Structure 1
Amino acid sequence: MAEAATQMTPTEARLDALSLPQGGWSEAARKDALARVRAMSLPDRRDEYWKYTRPETLVQPGAVPAALFDNDEAPIFGEMNRLNIVFVDGVFDAEASDDLSLEEVSIERLADTRSDIHWARDLYGVLEARGQDPVVRPLAALNTAFATDGVLIHVTGKPSKPINLTYHHRSETSDAVLHHVIRVDAGAEVTVLENGPAAARFNKCMEVDVADGAQFHHVRAQGRDHERRAATHLFARLGEESTFKSFTLTANGVLTRNECVIELTGDDAVAHVAGACVGDGDFHHDDTVFITHDAVGCESRQVFKKVLRNGATGVFQGKILVKKDAQKTDGYQISQSLLLDDDSQFLAKPELEIYADDVACSHGSTSGAIDEDALFYLRSRGVREAQATDLLTLAFLAEAVEEIENEDLREEINGRLAAWLERHRG
């Protein structure tokens, strides 16, 4: 009985295994986040927003080992002219990274900024904390409290090339906690790329503040590793006439949970969030999106497509909240799955909550198999069944991929999808 009384809760056990970084401008935000984690507790299957995804391996004290795989595929975005920043098992790798200097951009490591005054002090943990209402996101608060590295990016103009964050997984038991903060000043524009598996277990948070008239473009590729477990969080706040566009490609991985929380706080802002997911076998992928319209004349789009086979599972939870003064809102949400066998499943929870009366909002969710008529048409013209299936699958994913504005990036993503489908043909 005494032993049972002293047994730690899952939240206490996870916190006990971590060390809170001390000192510097982020200390107050970290302590506040830690207090919020303790008040919320880490997620379990009883939580409404986790009923489709098992969080146990994301919250237990140690990471589940993830085997390393040889991969002869060329690094994604590797041929592009970009500034490359590399993290290995959650730690910045200076030798593998480019020099952190780019015109009209300031880039620093989170781990290096220990003074009491820094521009990121006004943002670190701020957007994450705002994103806890009305739905709590304890893994994001855990990240704010215990993040050990990341980058702080301040964009003052229009840099000539994208910033590429590359993650490598080199240890079977690595447990990475990264936190990035990005400020895009009024009228500025930047493209941020992300790729790689990062670690055996990965908890990443990115906070993005997009000022009036600014543009933020984000393309992320999660793949090349079969056993990773990842929870990512993207928090954004948009000013007047600003633009935020984010696309994620996910391939492989045992468990991936991508959360995106966006506030449109300035009139005529635009926010697009899209994703293409391909999964085979022991694969669980969860996109959870919450977009709040709190200004006049704003536009939001959520476009998610998932291709699943051999028992893979896809989840989509997307919400559009329109506050009472957010008139002339244009909100669109679509989530669809293509099930390539009878063993896979797609679980969807689309939501609209509208308090304004002059809006145009819609949502839809469908799940189905390959169109047999279209497949027959292609085969009747000499296309082999496997190739015809791949062509129809790429056509299904196209609406999500088209959300990427840059043509070169679209071609790169389409090429990766085609290669994945070829490798996984039945």
Structure 2
Amino acid sequence: MAERATSDILDRRLALPAGGGWLGRARRDAADRLRAVGLPGRRDEYWRYTDPAPLTDPAPRIEASADDGDPFAGFDTCTITVDADGVSLPDDLPDGVEIATLAEAGAADIHWARDLYGTLEAAGSRPVSRPLAMLNTAMATYGLVIRATGKVARPIHIRTTGDGDAMHHHVVRVESGAELTILKSGTGGARANTVTEVDVADGGICHHLRIQGPDHGRHVNTHIFARLGAEAVLKSFTLSANGALTRNEGVIDIIGDDAVAQIAGAAFGRGDFHHDDTVWVTHGALNGESRQVFKKVLRDGAVGVFQGKILVKEGAQKTDGYQISQSLLLDDDSQFLAKPELEIYADDVACSHGSTTGAIDETALFYLRSRGVPERVATDLLVLSFLAEATDEIEDPALREHVMDRMADWLARD
């Protein structure tokens, strides 16, 4: 009976957008793959800690959260707005970057995005199925295709607005020797399901910074699928606050020698806040380096989840894989659920993982209180200190400082 209900939900969700060509073929392929595996359930290994029902229900009974404004206001960015009416591209694109809408790319018989759309997602869905990413590939009508051909001086800021469900799919290609910074923010309406596929060629560098603040959708599932060539670099950071359910998935495939992938996140929430970071990094080349650094601060019954895996394939010698997940529980009702994993088939590697859960350091709190710092302010200072290690993964000092200021502001208002 439960299987039939799931099948009915899937049938209602899979009303494919009109259109043919390479984009239509990719959508049909994703739909076929999704029908083969079905929607996720609590019995699935990587959904045991997070109930996927709010993300799969065809008609969620939730309201969109209010827009908290542009978190990157004041920065010199190239801002692109994506909403229920489509995509608004600016006229003043910086040098070294080409940007088009997904619809424009799909209308072309030959386009560089043809070989990437759905390709990295499909590869990242093996051996672990990622049905909601398949759903996105099949159903997304709005999105951007971004190609960096040089060092792009200004960050590309993708800002999502509107109250409806967000089903967006972005494709990013960083050519050899090019460098690009992608910023993301905005509302996801009542529910958001987004996919970003990032292909970083040999020697390319991609920075990815995402802010999911009080303005983000009530139920959010984001995915980043990345492929790194030789000496390529990907640095991704996500800041999350509040929201009912947020699941951020990262699937990184290191296929070139001497590549570097850094995936990090900081999250804090209270009450019905449920935050899930699920990361899978595959090392398939020599001298690869990866870092996973995740910090969560939870209070008033909030739940945090971390599932991180480092897979080192046979022959991927000299791999350096590091993974740490830590939580700070501000009361006895909150909980942190962690599942760190290492799977190694090479014998000359340096891989480690760790996970810890703790409370506020009472000695440090007493020290601050004894010097006249109010308890709430002292607690916020200790929280910011705890989260700082994750923000250290942000390379740009100005953006790093901005994220810390943003966290301090949210904590003061919480």
Q: For 1:9, what is the secondary structure of its paired residue?
A: helix
Deviations 1:138-189 (A, max 9, x none): 1111111111110000110011100000112x33xx2221000000000000
Matched, 1:76 2:68: no
Corresponding position of 1:157? 150
| Residue identity opposite 2:303 in structure 1 | T
Pair 1:258 & 2:248 matched? yes
Q: Which runs of 5+ in 2 are unaligned?
A: none
Which residue matches 1:213?
A: 203
Question: Is 2:411 the partner of 1:421?
Answer: yes
The superposition leaves residues 39-84 of structure 1 with CA deviations (integer Å, 9 ceiling, x where unpaired) of: 010001010100000000111112333144364xx52111100100
Is 2:5 the counterpart of 1:9?
Answer: yes
Map 1:363-382 to 2 at 5 A.
Answer: 363-382=353-372
- The equivalences for 1:188-199 within 5 A come to 188-199=178-189
Aligned to 2:102: 110
The whole-number CA distance in structure 1 between the counterparts of 2:103 and 2:192 is 17
Aligned to 1:47: 44
Q: Is the 8 A contact 2:198 2:226 kept in 1?
A: yes
Q: Take 2:332 and 2:179, find their aligned partners in 1: how far apart are those partners?
A: 45
Q: Distance in 2 between matches of 1:121 and 1:226?
A: 30
Deviation at 1:423, TM superposition (A): 1.4
Contact 1:14 / 1:60 at 8 angstroms: preserved in 2?
A: no
Residues 1:28 and 2:18 are matched in the alignment:
no
Amino acid at match of 2:96: E
1:14-40 deviation per Cα after TM superposition (whole angstroms, max 9, x unaligned):
332443122132111111111100001
Q: Which amino acid aligns with 1:57?
A: P
Q: Which runs of 5+ in 1 are unaligned?
A: none
Amino-acid identity (%): 60
Tell me, yes or no, if the aligned pair for 2:67 and 2:187 is still in contact at 8 Å.
no
Deviations 1:346-368 (A, max 9, x none): 00000000110001000000001
C-alpha contact (below 8 Å) 1:197/1:228 kept by paired residues: no
Residue 221 (structure 2) aligns with: 231
Secondary structure of the structure 1 residue equivalent to 2:15: coil
**Structure 2 residue corresponding to 1:249, chosen from 213, 234, 239:** 239
Deviation at 1:285, TM superposition (A): 0.4
- Aligned partner of residue 207 in structure 1, secondary structure: strand
Mapped partners of 1:293, 1:82: distance in 2:
33
2:86 aligned with 1:92, yes or no?
yes
**CA deviation map 1:215-270 (0-9, x unaligned):** 00000000123761011110000000110000000011100110000011000000
Letter in 2 for 1:102: P
Give the aligned CA root-mean-square deviation in angstroms.
1.6
**Aligned positions, number:** 412
Q: 1:320 to 1:69 in 2, by over 3 A?
A: same
State which of 13, 19, 22 in structure 1 corresponds to 2:15.
Answer: 19
Q: Distance in 2 between matches of 1:108 and 1:324?
A: 39
User: What is the TM-score when the length of structure 2 is the normalising length?
Assistant: 0.96
| Pair 1:100–1:282, CA change in 2 (3 A) | farther
SS state at 1:101 partner? coil
1:179 and 2:169 are equivalent in the alignment: yes
**Structure 1 runs of 4+ with >4 Å offset:** none
Match of 1:305 among 278, 285, 295: 295
| Alpha-carbon shift at residue 336 of structure 1 (Å) | 0.3
Give SS of 2:134's match.
Answer: helix
Shift of 1:101: 2.7
- Deviation of 1:111 (Å): 2.1
Q: Which residue number corresponds to residue 146 of structure 1?
A: 139
Are 2:122 and 1:126 equivalent residues in the alignment?
A: no
Instruction: Report the secondary structure of 2:42's partner residue.
Output: coil
Are 1:356 and 2:346 counterparts? yes
CA distance in 1, matches of 2:368, 2:356: 24
Change in Cα spacing, 1:51 to 1:87, as seen in structure 2 (3 Å) is same
Cα separation, partners in 2 of 1:292 and 1:275, compared to 1, 3 Å: same
Distance in 1, Cα, partners of 2:196 & 2:313: 25
1:37 alignment partner, one of 34, 38, 52:
34
CA contact (8 A) 2:394 2:400 kept: yes
Offset from partner CA, 1:394-425 (integer Å, 9 cap, x none)? 0100100010001111111101110111112x
1:119–1:191 Cα change, 3 Å: same
Among 175, 181, 194, the residue aligned to 1:204: 194
Cα deviation code 1:100-134 (max 9, x no counterpart): 63311110000233122211000000000000111
